[in-house]
Amino acid sequence: MPKILSTLAICLLLAASAAAGAKQPAKQPALTDLTLATGAQRTPEQRAVVFEKADLRFKVDPANRSLHGDAALTFRATAPISRLAVELDRNYAVESVSVDDKKLAKSEYGNPDGRMTVTLPTPLAAGERTVLRIVYAGKPHVADRAPWDGGFVWAKAPTGEPWIASAVQGEGCDLFWPCIDHPMGEPLQVDQHITVPAPLVAAGNGVAMGMEEKDGWRTYHWRARNPNTYAIALNIGPYELLEGSYKSRYGNTVPLRFWYLKGNADKARGLFAEFPEMLDFFEAYIGPYPFGDEKMGVVETPHLGMEHQTVNAYGNEYKKSEYGYDWLLQHEFAHEWFGNQLTNVDWDDMWLHEGYGTYMQPLYLQWLRGDMEYYANLMKHRADLINKFPVVSGKSQTGSQVYDEATGPGHDLYYKGSLILHTLRNLIGDKDFFAVTRQAVYGADKPVPGNFKPLYLSTPEYIAIVNKVTGRDYRWFFDVYLYQAALPELIATRDGKGLSLRWKTLADKPFPMPVEVRVDGRDRVVAMKNGQGRVEMPAGAVYTVDPHSKVLRDLPYMDEFKADKAAREKKAAEQKNKKK
C-alpha cells in the first residue's frame, strides 16, 4: 500500500480526490476500537477453523450510498468448537443469521463491538464443516482520506457517472464483509457477486465467471483463490477495458487486464504498455507471477492505490516520475509477490510487505537503466528515515500500531525496510540474496507455476531462511537493524599511520559489519571482526568510507538536514497562519 511513499504522494491523493468530486458525509457512526484495529488477536474459535470459502453477494446502490450484503462463509473445524466468530462493522443492520440453512434466533448471535459471535446449533467436531450465512445492509463507512483511512469512496467520474471504490487495508475487511480480520484469516476461495446499476462495470479479484443483466442491474461474478482479506475490493465505474497477454519466461501465458475510465484511452494504452516490462522484471529477479492462472489486473480508482490481489487499484493519474516510469503501478504490483503471495503472519512483520515492495522500485531502476538511478532513488529513501521505533517490535501488533508514527515505525516500514534489504544484498551477495527472496516468497529454490502456494512468513522465519541459505548466523544483522530504532554509528579515527574504525550500537550489540574504504582511489574491505578494524595508509592519503554506499548507518549530516528542513517548514507555516 502506498501509505507514505512521499509527500508528493499525499498531494497526488488530495488532488485526485478533489478531481473526482468525492463528497464525504459530515458525520458518520463511530467505528468501535475493534473495527478500527485490523489484525487484533484471533479468538480461540477463529484459530480452530480453516476458512475454506467466502461466497459474497453485494448490491451497491450509488443513489443512496448503501450496501446490501449476503455472505455465506464455509468453515472447517480443526478442533471441537461450539461457536463461530467473525468481524463485521456493527453499524450494519443484520437482517438474518443462519447456520447450514437453519435460521438462528437473535439470542443465538451478537455483535456488540464489531466481533460477531454465533452459537452453533450443534457443536462441530474436528474435520466437520459448516456454512455461516449473514445477511446485512447499511451505509459503509466512508473513507476520509483513502487509502490512508479505510472505507468506501463515493465519487463521480469526469463523465458524470458514479465511481466507487473500497480501500480497507488500514481498518480491515470487516468494513464491508464478515471476515476474520487478521493476516492469517485468508479464505481459500472467494466468490464475489457484485450487483450494480447498468451500465456500470464492476472489476473484481481473480477470474471473471460471467455477468448477468436484469431489470436495470448488472451482476458480475468473480472468483479468487487465497486472497488477503483486505485485498478483496469493490471497484465500480464507467470502465472500458484493455486486454492483452504476457508470455512468461516460465512458459505460461498471463492475461493482462486494465479497466480505465472513459476518455482516458490514450493514456491508458501508454500505461498498459508498461505491464509486460514490469512482469518480466519481477519474473527475472524474483520468480513467476504468483497468480498467472488468474490475471494481472489494474483498475483506475478515485484514490491513489492499493495492492488488491489481481486487480490493483491505480489512481496516479498517469503521472510518470522523474525516472520515467509509473512508480505507483510498480509499487502496488510488487505486492502481488510481497503481500499477496508472501503474507505477513502478524502486522509486526509488515516490513516484509512494505520494505520489499519499496525496494523493488530502485531495483527496477537498476534493471532498467543502471546504478545511477538505483542510488538516487535509495538516497531519497535515506532522507526520509525516522528511526523512532524499531521496524519489528517482537510482539503482536495491529495495523494501526505499526503504521501510526506515534506508536510504531510508520515510514520506516517502507524506506528503512528498503535500505535494510539493500545492505543485506551487499553483505551476502546477489546469489544468496535472491535465493533468500525466492525461499521467502515461494518456499522453493526453483519455483515454477504450479509448484507453490501462497504462504505466511514471520520475521524470525525470514531470518532463519537467511541463515540457512548463507550457512552463516546473521542474527546480529537483524538485531541491530530490525529490533532497535537507532542506526549503527561508524566511528572513524585517523592517526599518523592509518584509520581505525569502530561500530557503535545501542546496548553495545555485536555488529561485525564489513566496511569498504577507498584509499587514494583503491577500494579495500575492512573485515571489522568484533566490530572493529583498521586500514593502514600514509599521511596525506585521501580516503572515503563506504564509497559505494553499501551500508545503512547513522549519518549526522542527514539528521542536521532534516532538523533544518523541519524548522524552516514550521516557520513558513507560522508566517502563513499570521497572514490569515
Over the stretch 70-79, which tens digit does the pLDDT of each residue have?
A: 999 999 999 9
- Give yes or no for residue 6 having a pLDDT over 80: no
- Give yes or no for residue 25 having a pLDDT over 60: no
482-520 confidence digits (pLDDT tens): 999 999 999 999 999 999 999 999 999 999 999 999 999
- Give yes or no for residue 279 having a pLDDT over 50: yes
Cβ–Cβ under 8 Å, residues 263 and 225: no
- Give yes or no for residue 322 having a pLDDT over 90: no
* Helix or strand (DSSP H, E) at 54: strand 49-61
203-240 confidence digits (pLDDT tens): 999 999 999 999 999 999 999 999 999 999 999 999 99
List alpha helices for 445-555, DSSP H. Answer: 459-470, 475-481
Question: Average pLDDT of 35-64?
Answer: 96
153-201 confidence digits (pLDDT tens): 999 999 999 999 999 998 999 999 999 999 999 999 999 999 999 999 9
**Average per-residue pLDDT for the chain:** 94
Between the CA of residue 478 and those of 211, 417, 433, 467, 513, what are the distances in Å? Answer: 50, 11, 14, 11, 12
Give the pLDDT score at 33: 94
379-425 confidence digits (pLDDT tens): 999 999 999 999 999 999 999 999 999 999 999 999 999 999 999 99
- Give yes or no for residue 318 having a pLDDT over 90: yes
Between the CA of residue 332 and those of 182, 215, 299, 326, 488, what are the distances in Å? Answer: 20, 37, 12, 10, 31
533-561 confidence digits (pLDDT tens): 999 999 999 999 999 999 999 999 998 98
3-class state of residue 137 by DSSP: strand
**How many other CB atoms are there within 10 angstroms of residue 251's CB atom?**
9
Question: Average pLDDT of 123-130?
Answer: 98
Q: How much is the pTM?
A: 0.92
- Give yes or no for residue 340 having a pLDDT over 80: yes
What is the DSSP annotation of 382-401?
HHT---SS-S--SS---HHH
Give the pLDDT score at 15: 37
3-class state of residue 38 by DSSP: coil
Between the CA of residue 329 and those of 370, 499, 538, what are the distances in Å? Answer: 20, 46, 51
Among residues of the chain, what percentage have pLDDT more than 90?
Answer: 89
Q: Where are the beta strands (DSSP E) in 157-250?
A: 162-167, 189-197, 201-203, 207-214, 217-225, 235-237, 239-247
Give the pLDDT score at 19: 40
Q: 371-383 and 351-369 are packed helices; what angle lies between their axes, rounded to 10 degrees?
A: 150
131-147 confidence digits (pLDDT tens): 999 999 999 999 988 88
Measured CA to CA, the distance from residue 527 to residue 549 in angstroms comes to: 16
Question: Average pLDDT of 55-75?
Answer: 98
